[in-house]
Amino acid sequence: MKAFRAHSSAPVLVANFAAPAILPFGLFDANVPDSFSYALARANDGLRGRISDLPGTVIWDYAALVRDRGAARWTDPRLWALGRIAVAADHQPALAAGLARAVAGVLRKNA
């Protein structure tokens, strides 16, 4: 990211990491110190730390979009097998709208 920033002043939007619908330890995943939940939290914290030092770079809360729409049905295994399409068809409009709002928020001038 620093190399990109050295060559461009364009705004950069970085998505954070969303939790999958099924966690390895199920309901108790948050209780296990080396669980996926902990790893995901560390990854998102690390992302925030790295991004905070770079001007014009913001985090888009992709994880909140997935959580709000429902992680259990966010993906469609059939679409993934057909074309590596990561988001279920029912959620693609919400993904597009959320991303468009984030991009507009980054590019729009302050009032």
Which amino acid would we find at residue 35? S
pLDDT tens-place string over residues 7-34: 888 899 999 999 888 887 887 787 888 8
Cβ count near 16 (within 10 Å): 19
Contacts of 104 (CB under 8 A, 6+ apart): none
Q: Is residue 38 very low, low, confident or very high in pLDDT (cuts 50, 70, 90)?
A: confident
Once rounded to an integer, what is the mean pLDDT over residues 44-61? 92
Mean pLDDT of 32-51: 89
Return the percentage of the chain with pLDDT > 90, whole number. 54
Q: Which residues of 30-66 are buried (b: 16+ CB within 10 A; e: fewer)?
A: eeeeebbbeebeeebeeeeeeeeeeeebebbbbbebb
Nearest to 46 by CA among 67, 17, 8: 17
Q: What is the mean pLDDT of residues 76-86?
A: 93
Q: What is the mean pLDDT of the chain?
A: 89
Q: Is the pLDDT of residue 1 over 80?
A: no
Q: pTM of this prediction? A: 0.83
CA 32 to chain CA centroid, Å, is 23
